[in-house]
Structure 1
Amino acid sequence: MVNGKARKGGRGLKAIDPQDIVAAALRICDEQGLDHLTVRGLATELGIGTMTLYSYFRGKDEILDAIADHVLGEMVVPPADPADPAAVLRTVGYAFLDLMQAHPSVVQLFGTRVTTSQHSLKGGMEAVLTRLVDAGIRDDLAVRCYGFLITYALGFAHYQYPRTWGRGDSDEAAELRRQRRHFYASMPAGEFPTMVELSERLVSLPSDEQFEFGLSMFVNSVLAELKLPQR
Structure 2
Amino acid sequence: MADAEGDPNKFTMRSLAAELGVGVMSLYTYFPTKDAILDGMAAKVLGEMTIPAGADDPATAIRLVAHSILDVMREHPSVGRLLAARLNDNEDAIHGSLELPLRRLVDAGIPGPLAARCYGFVMVFAIGFSSYHLARPWGYSDTDDGSDSAEMRRQREHYYAGRPLARFPTVVELAGDIVDIPGDATFEFGIAALVDAVSREIETHYIEHS
**Unmatched segments (≥5 aa) in structure 1:** 1-27
Q: What is the rounded CA distance, in whole Å, between the counterparts of 2:29 and 2:163 in structure 1?
A: 56
Partner of 2:208: none
Q: What is the rounded CA distance, in whole Å, between the counterparts of 1:103 and 1:73 in structure 2?
A: 13
Partner of 2:65: 92
Which of residues 18, 43, 51 is equivalent to 2:17?
A: 43
Greater percentage in helix = 2
Matches within 5 A, 1:1-231: 28-32=1-5, 33-82=7-56, 84-168=57-141, 171-227=147-203
- Alignment RMSD (CA, Å): 1.4
**Matched residue pairs, number?**
200
Which protein shows a greater Rg? Answer: 1
**Unmatched segments (≥5 aa) in structure 2:** 205-210
Q: Which amino acid aligns with 1:193?
A: P
Question: What TM-score, normalized to structure 2?
Answer: 0.91
Question: What TM-score, normalized to structure 1?
Answer: 0.83
Q: What is the rounded CA distance, in whole Å, between the counterparts of 1:111 and 1:133 in structure 2?
A: 24
Kindly indicate whether structure 1 or structure 2 has the higher relative contact order, using CA contacts under 8 Å at least 6 residues apart.
2
